Amino acid sequence: MGLPGRILLFLLGTVLCLPGSQALQCYSFEHTYFGPFDLSAKSLPNVSCAQGCSEVLLSLDTGYRATVTMVRKGCWTGPTTGAMQTNQNALPPDYAVVRGCSTDFCNVDLRTHDSLPNLSHAPDPPRLSGTECYACVGVNPEDCAPEKSRRVQCHQDQSSCFQGSGRMNIGNFSVPVYIRTCHRPACTTMGTTSPWTSIDLQGSCCQGRLCNAGSMAQPFHSAAPPRAPHGLALLLAAPVLALAMAGPLRLMV
């Protein structure tokens, strides 16, 4: 091989050895769960990623031991920084955690339901409001038919009944959601949002025993994908791949 050929091979090898020039191997998985989940013994497929790996968990709970949880693992394709916004007075309770990392198969931390906090806190002492409502959550209207819903005694200041529908979104991974549960009279439903995740939920509250039994035949359609909300910015990574990425953002409503 002549000198020009050896120089070309040397330059090619140098480029391939530059940081970030080789793709990472990341786990690739997305699924929606109803209740506890455990991925620890599951063999997950993998994918090559140019920027990094990610894992995201998004959960919506009735507050009365019923939950829908989305889990997604794959390539990091989101923004390197952004705001997550939460409303501590909003119901139903929700939770989001976003984690990015920059080594092969590093998106393995979120594996079981233990990654979630308890979103169904019973009051202590166990004071009740005296209101009884239907409680359910699902991805189809029939999942929340009154005959399939639980009747629950509402906690403390939750003296209204709520029914609503919407979508849970992790990037382009999206599922419809239907929910009935107890609520406060203020009926505030704005939950956790971020550049990576959102729960777009619309509904209404009513007064009276088991009054949230109305039809859920019409789904709610999100008008746009989630965007970074205004408010306090929490830094995930800057840049994202410099972190090994400084850990998850954990926001709970």
Distance CA 165, CA 188 (A): 14
pLDDT at 227 over 70: no
pLDDT at 81 over 90: no
**Tens-digit pLDDT profile for residues 22-31:** 789 999 999 9
- Can you list the positions of beta strands (E) in 173-214? 173-183, 197-206
Least confident piece of the model among 63-72, 82-91, 103-112, 178-187: 82-91
User: Tell me, what's the pLDDT at 17?
Assistant: 39
Domain boundary assignment for the chain: 24-117+128-252
Structure token pair of residue 253: 């409503």
pLDDT at 7 over 60: no
pLDDT at 18 over 70: no
Q: What is the CATH number of domain 24-117+128-252?
A: 2.10.60.10
User: Tell me, what's the pLDDT at 126?
Assistant: 84
How far is residue 225 from each of residues 57, 60, 63, 194, 195, measured CA to CA in Å?
17, 18, 26, 11, 9
pLDDT at 147 over 50: yes
- The model's confidence at residue 104, banded by pLDDT at 50, 70 and 90, is very high
Specify the DSSP class assigned to residue 141.
G
**Tens-digit pLDDT profile for residues 159-218:** 999 999 999 999 999 999 999 999 999 999 888 888 899 999 999 999 999 999 999 875
